[in-house]
Chains A and B, each alone.
Chain A
Amino acid sequence: MWLRNSQTFLKFIILTILVWCPPASALAAEKVYTFGVVPQFDARRIKNIWQPIIDAVNKQTGIKIELVGSANIQTFEKQFTEGEFDFAYMNPYHLVKAQQAQGYQPFLRDVGRMLFGIIVVRKDSPIEQVADLHGKTVAFPAPNALGAALIPRTEFGEIYKIEITPKYVRSHDSVYLNVLLGQAAAGGGVQKTFNTQPDNIRNALKIIYQTRKVAPHPIAVHPRVSEEVRGKILNAFLSLGNTAEGKALLKEIPMSQIGEAFAQDYEPLKHLGLDKYYVE
């Protein structure tokens, strides 16, 4: 009799647990994955670009992904260093760092282009080449912005052996404005951001230098994310790239041709000597 009653009691407990405690798969389905984006632009712009994409992916996969912002690049770097993001869109150097810190792996990138930095000056500037920048103030978004700052600074020091006074002005837009408004002799950016500048800014500047090209910003995934989820997200992004609407969304990142990324795509970065110029 006691045994019968205890069995009943146990069933009740199990039932209660099951009611109150969802199964792992349900728990797994309810998990919200964080998605970080390098703050190349201001938060609003970043949200405008990435939220539709995230929503599309969410819709397609049923996986809840939450866009997480970063106040600045330093914060972003700190966040991925501490593994706050499940997914993150970062610059290639960040990936290297992220790989080292948390084991982030790239799994998606724009396979139609390569990332490189550019140095811009006013069109009416007498500066024609990198060597002319010696001793000048050069504006960069942030010290560790890969294409816009890190690679050019590395090359200034390693290849051209010039010394410049860097002025970190927080964003690519700010770089161009500083150059345009004479607050810096030159500025470092990337083609992508340069191209998105208003005509009156873009037309008032000229590019005097392009850096070496590397694979562009990947979307990396933390190793804690399950293969299943990674796969779903990968497929979702790739599917987006196959639709006109998806393409339009991805183009804003910008990723004009999204494809799968691999770790070896970013191996060359480890040998550029960027560490020396990376500001922790």
Chain B
Amino acid sequence: MSIRFKLLLPLVLAVVSLSLIFHLYWLPGYVLDEEDNIRQQEIAYIEALGASLVPSLLASDLAQIHATLDSISARRPHWKAVSLHNASQVRLYPIDKNNADAQNLFRISHTIKYENDALANLSVDLDVSTLLDAETKHITSLEIYLLLFSLAITIVAALLLDRWIRQPLKLMVSATNRIVDGDFSHNIRQHSKDEVGQLTAAIDQMQSQLEARQKQTALQHRILEVITNAQARFIRDANPQQLFDKLLNDILSLTNSEYGFIGEILYDGDAPYLKTFAITNIAWNEQTREFYEKNAPNGLEFRNMQTLFGAAIVNGENIITNNPPKDSRAAGIPDGHPSLDAFLGIPFKREDKVIGMVGIANRPEGYDDTVINYLKPIINTCTQIVEAYKAEQTRLKIEMLVREREIRMRTVVNNVTEGIITTNDKGIIESFNPAAENLFGYLATEVISKNISLLVPDSHSASHDRYIANYLRHGKSHIVGLGREVEGKRKDGSVFPLEVTVSEMWVEGERMFCSVMRDITERKKLDKMKDEFVSTVSHELRTPLTSIRGSLGVLASGKLGEFPAKASNLLNIANNNSERLLFLINDLLDMEKLASGKMEFQYKPLELNNFLQEAVEANQGYGEQYSVNFIISKSQQDLLIYADRNRMMQVLSNLLSNAAKFSPEGSSVEISAVLNNDIIRISVSDHGSGIPEEFQSQIFERFTQVDGSSTRSVGGTGLGLNIAKAIVEKHCGKIGFTSHSGGGTTFYVDLPRLEDTIRTSANNTLQKIV
């Protein structure tokens, strides 16, 4: 249904409806009313006529009456029959009786009176329809005129609607179809000054906007294509120059620029300089051409920052200039260089640091923020690519370094004298260096992927697996992290002593263990020889020394009489030194026992809080000697360990005496016992000068004292900590310290809480089970 039809239809319907209403409703009503009016009018007329006939009636002037009635009848064709009868009903008019058919006629009968006496009766038969016919014809004519007029109006309206609405609509449809087909070349142009004109103008505007958006979308697609291609090339190509060459060409094409460059910003110290990834070949002579061909592939370097691009690098901001010759930032161009009519430099920034830039030149219409805006995605991509390229370069460098280090490490590992075995958390051997091969007699290929228990003597194999399991499960180390003396089993089945240090490491998310071990057979022999020597010597020394000390004690007691002061002093010196020798010998003997495994321990549950109190009281003398106050700063109730009380006291006495020796006078030494994840840490903290760094690694070695000089100010054998360490380790514990030179030292002993330990009688060794 066309718009013309839709617009005209209501008009036509209105006209038809009005006509129907007029003809079928109004007109009949009007006719009835008119009929009535006519009758009333005729009645009035007839009454008036009757009145006018009175004189003639009175005068019996029938001629006048006839003439009057004839005349009126002639003028009133709707009077079909007129008759006048006198009071005696004698017809006075007409001469001949009326033969008119009275049907469908309306009779008006009027009595003509004179002075209340009836003179005559005037009767008129009206054919109202005649009058109405005329009226109806008149109205029908009017109807027809109105219909014709309406038709004319409709035609005019149709023509005007066609001109004002349909044709513009057709133009709009045509324009819209062209827009759908992507043709934005034609505008409607003719805009009337009404709502249709506003619509056509809106369509023109919409077309312009769609065209602009289409161009914008095409530009965005092009930009997306450039970015996608750049990213694909980056993933695919190892050669950055090809990638940036293409990217530069795409940017130049997008912006309709003549030439440009893309490069990274490097630093020579603090001075930035530009090194190109890609640069348009604008060589203008043989020299520049040679220079370009030789250097461009590796990147041209530009160090003069007093230039337009330099301004972008230094300031980290976009540079636009559409009149470079007059721009103060421009350094000028060499002779022969193609003209520079417009320049745009955009730095690539990452966290405010300029890492690269693009510079393009000679866009015919110049550069503005619009160009910068639509280049933004590409600039972001360039930034990411440059960054990724730099990271890749860095990664390659690091890889190379790592590789070199690996080679170095491998060389070291392969050449160390210690055996280095790495296992996973299931004890499967993953690496086995040549020294390990030598130690165990296996080739690496024979043991790799096998369980390390292969190298453990059968008697220790089960416990070794348990140690690992416990560590993995609970982090409780038996040998992990600790240097331990164990036994290994060679390929030929022979067992030999090893010193093993096991460290935990994480490689690519997997837990691994690295065991560094050395064959200590010789050392053990030497130690044994030394220990035996020490023991023998100690024993041979202690026996007479005890006698000497006893004798000196008696003499010094004065039980045998008083001696002169000098002699008394000499006696005291001799007594003290002999006591000192005794301590040394005891320590040496203890050391020997520990080393030989002959030291016996009486393990019992030991309540720490009370034990610490006793330790403090036992060593109070030391404290007073050095004017140091022992304070139990923290000790929880019901902390139990499974320990040999005397040996543990020995340990604590050593720590307390050391703390007192190295604390300034008047200071305090804090003792604490703290439970942490089933490990009780007993700490002894002093505020002394701390352990110098150079001695820290040796502090638990034999005969090591901070002051090793012959005029040392503090006493001691230098064996205390070593013995303490051995005792603590026999208790399945750990001893250590934290120290800062000048800031005090804290020695700590970590021991397992009582309920987690049981003792096996076989080796007199603590095993931990949960």
Per-position binary interface string of chain B over residues 89-131, scored 1 when its CB falls under 8 Å from any chain A CB and 0 otherwise: 0111001100000000000000000000000000000000000
Contact A181 B91 (CB under 8 A): yes
CA separation between A183 and B64, bound complex, in Å? Answer: 15
CA separation between A42 and B66, bound complex, in Å? Answer: 12
CA separation between A183 and B67, bound complex, in Å? Answer: 17
- Shortest C-beta distance, A99 to chain B (Å), equals 30
Contact B96 A200 (CB under 8 A): yes
> Would you call B63 an interface residue if the criterion is a C-beta within 8 Å of the partner chain's C-beta atoms?
yes
Contact B67 A139 (CB under 8 A): no
> Would you call A177 an interface residue if the criterion is a C-beta within 8 Å of the partner chain's C-beta atoms?
yes
Per-position binary interface string of chain B over residues 530-543, scored 1 when its CB falls under 8 Å from any chain A CB and 0 otherwise: 00000000000000
CA separation between A176 and B96, bound complex, in Å? Answer: 14
Point out the residues of chain A lying under 8 angstroms from B96, CB to CB.
200
Mark the stretch among A124-132, A166-174, A221-229, A265-273 that contacts chain B. Answer: A166-174
Point out the residues of chain B lying under 8 angstroms from A200, CB to CB.
95-96
> Would you call A201 an interface residue if the criterion is a C-beta within 8 Å of the partner chain's C-beta atoms?
yes
Point out the residues of chain A lying under 8 angstroms from B90, CB to CB.
181-183
- Shortest C-beta distance, B694 to chain A (Å), equals 169
Point out the residues of chain B lying under 8 angstroms from A182, CB to CB.
90
- Shortest C-beta distance, B371 to chain A (Å), equals 109
> Would you call B13 an interface residue if the criterion is a C-beta within 8 Å of the partner chain's C-beta atoms?
no
Q: What is the predominant secondary structure among interface residues of chain B facing chain A?
A: mixed
Name the residue of chain A whose CB is nearest to the CB of B93: A181
> Would you call A178 an interface residue if the criterion is a C-beta within 8 Å of the partner chain's C-beta atoms?
yes
CA separation between A173 and B59, bound complex, in Å? Answer: 13
> Would you call A180 an interface residue if the criterion is a C-beta within 8 Å of the partner chain's C-beta atoms?
yes
Contact B95 A42 (CB under 8 A): no
Point out the residues of chain B lying under 8 angstroms from A174, CB to CB.
60-64
A42-B67, A177-B66, A200-B96 known; A170-B61 Cβ under 8 A: yes
CA separation between A19 and B408, bound complex, in Å? Answer: 165
CA separation between A200 and B66, bound complex, in Å? Answer: 14
- Shortest C-beta distance, B467 to chain A (Å), equals 162
Point out the residues of chain B lying under 8 angstroms from A201, CB to CB.
95
| Interface residue count on the B side (C-beta < 8 Å) | 14
CA separation between A170 and B64, bound complex, in Å? Answer: 9
CA separation between A201 and B70, bound complex, in Å? Answer: 15
Name the residue of chain A whose CB is nearest to the CB of B59: A170
- Shortest C-beta distance, B533 to chain A (Å), equals 192
| CB under 8 Å from chain A, chain B span 219-239 | none
Contact B60 A171 (CB under 8 A): no
Contact B59 A181 (CB under 8 A): no
CA separation between A250 and B198, bound complex, in Å? Answer: 88
Name the residue of chain B whose CB is nearest to the CB of A42: B67
Instruction: Pick the residue among A139, A168, A181, A183 that contacts B95 (CB under 8 A).
Output: A181
Contact B62 A181 (CB under 8 A): yes
CA separation between A173 and B64, bound complex, in Å? Answer: 8
| CB under 8 Å from chain B, chain A span 13-38 | none
| CB under 8 Å from chain B, chain A span 175-190 | 176-178, 180-183
Name the residue of chain B whose CB is nearest to the CB of A173: B63
Instruction: Pick the residue among A139, A173, A176 that contacts B60 (CB under 8 A).
Output: A139
Contact B64 A42 (CB under 8 A): yes
Instruction: Pick the residue among B59, B86, B91 that contacts A169 (CB under 8 A).
Output: B59
Name the residue of chain B whose CB is nearest to the CB of A179: B62
- Shortest C-beta distance, A46 to chain B (Å), equals 14
Q: What is the predominant secondary structure among interface residues of chain A facing chain B?
A: mixed
CA separation between A169 and B92, bound complex, in Å? Answer: 13
Point out the residues of chain B lying under 8 angstroms from A176, CB to CB.
63
Per-position binary interface string of chain B over residues 34-65, scored 1 when its CB falls under 8 Å from any chain A CB and 0 otherwise: 00000000000000000000000001111110
Contact A169 B95 (CB under 8 A): no
| CB under 8 Å from chain B, chain A span 198-257 | 200-201, 204
CA separation between A183 and B86, bound complex, in Å? Answer: 10
| CB under 8 Å from chain A, chain B span 8-28 | none
Contact B62 A169 (CB under 8 A): yes
- Shortest C-beta distance, B59 to chain A (Å), equals 6
Point out the residues of chain B lying under 8 angstroms from A178, CB to CB.
60, 62
Name the residue of chain A whose CB is nearest to the CB of B92: A181
Contact A169 B60 (CB under 8 A): yes
CA separation between A177 and B60, bound complex, in Å? Answer: 10
Per-position binary interface string of chain B over residues 66-100, scored 1 when its CB falls under 8 Å from any chain A CB and 0 otherwise: 11000000000000000000100011100110000
Instruction: Pick the residue among A139, A168, A173, A183 that contacts B92 (CB under 8 A).
Output: A183
Contact B63 A183 (CB under 8 A): no
A42-B67, A177-B66 known; A171-B92 Cβ under 8 A: no
CA separation between A182 and B93, bound complex, in Å? Answer: 12
CA separation between A42 and B60, bound complex, in Å? Answer: 15
CA separation between A167 and B67, bound complex, in Å? Answer: 19
CA separation between A200 and B95, bound complex, in Å? Answer: 8
- Shortest C-beta distance, B748 to chain A (Å), equals 162
Name the residue of chain B whose CB is nearest to the CB of A200: B95
- Shortest C-beta distance, A45 to chain B (Å), equals 10
| CB under 8 Å from chain B, chain A span 121-176 | 139, 167-174, 176
Name the residue of chain B whose CB is nearest to the CB of A176: B63
- Shortest C-beta distance, A186 to chain B (Å), equals 14
- Residue in B59, B60, B92 whose Cβ sees the most chain A Cβ within 10 Å: B60
Name the residue of chain B whose CB is nearest to the CB of A184: B60
Name the residue of chain B whose CB is nearest to the CB of A170: B61
Point out the residues of chain A lying under 8 angstroms from B67, CB to CB.
42, 173
Contact B60 A167 (CB under 8 A): yes
CA separation between A168 and B62, bound complex, in Å? Answer: 11
CA separation between A182 and B92, bound complex, in Å? Answer: 9
Point out the residues of chain B lying under 8 angstroms from A168, CB to CB.
59
Contact A180 B63 (CB under 8 A): no
Point out the residues of chain A lying under 8 angstroms from B92, CB to CB.
181, 183
Contact B61 A171 (CB under 8 A): yes
- Shortest C-beta distance, B68 to chain A (Å), equals 11
- Shortest C-beta distance, B729 to chain A (Å), equals 170
Point out the residues of chain A lying under 8 angstroms from B95, CB to CB.
177, 180-181, 200-201, 204
- Shortest C-beta distance, B554 to chain A (Å), equals 203
- Residue in A167, A170, A181, A201 whose Cβ sees the most chain B Cβ within 10 Å: A181
- Residue in A169, A180, A200 whose Cβ sees the most chain B Cβ within 10 Å: A169
CA separation between A139 and B63, bound complex, in Å? Answer: 12
Contact B61 A183 (CB under 8 A): no
Instruction: Pick the residue among A167, A171, A172, A180 that contacts B64 (CB under 8 A).
Output: A171
Name the residue of chain A whose CB is nearest to the CB of B91: A181
Per-position binary interface string of chain B over residues 578-618, scored 1 when its CB falls under 8 Å from any chain A CB and 0 otherwise: 00000000000000000000000000000000000000000
Point out the residues of chain A lying under 8 angstroms from B59, CB to CB.
168-170
Point out the residues of chain B lying under 8 angstroms from A177, CB to CB.
62-63, 66, 95
CA separation between A182 and B95, bound complex, in Å? Answer: 11
- Residue in A177, A180, A183, A201 whose Cβ sees the most chain B Cβ within 10 Å: A177
Point out the residues of chain B lying under 8 angstroms from A171, CB to CB.
61, 63-64
Point out the residues of chain A lying under 8 angstroms from B62, CB to CB.
169, 173-174, 177-178, 181, 183
CA separation between A218 and B595, bound complex, in Å? Answer: 203
Point out the residues of chain A lying under 8 angstroms from B66, CB to CB.
173, 177
CA separation between A182 and B60, bound complex, in Å? Answer: 12
CA separation between A250 and B498, bound complex, in Å? Answer: 186
Point out the residues of chain A lying under 8 angstroms from B91, CB to CB.
181
- Shortest C-beta distance, A41 to chain B (Å), equals 9
Point out the residues of chain B lying under 8 angstroms from A173, CB to CB.
62-63, 66-67
- Shortest C-beta distance, A169 to chain B (Å), equals 5
- Shortest C-beta distance, A179 to chain B (Å), equals 10
List 9 A-B pairs, minimum CB-CB distance, nearest first.
A173-B63, A174-B63, A177-B62, A170-B61, A169-B60, A174-B61, A171-B63, A174-B62, A178-B62
Can you list 16 contacts pairing A with B, beta carbon distance less than 8 Å? Answer: A167-B60, A169-B59, A169-B62, A170-B61, A170-B63, A171-B64, A173-B63, A173-B66, A173-B67, A174-B60, A174-B62, A177-B62, A177-B66, A182-B90, A201-B95, A204-B95
Given A167-B60, A174-B62, A177-B62, output 9 extra A-B contacts at Cβ < 8 Å. A168-B59, A169-B59, A169-B60, A169-B61, A169-B63, A171-B63, A177-B63, A178-B62, A183-B86
Instruction: Enumerate chain A interface residues (CB-CB to B < 8 A).
Output: 42, 139, 167-174, 176-178, 180-183, 200-201, 204
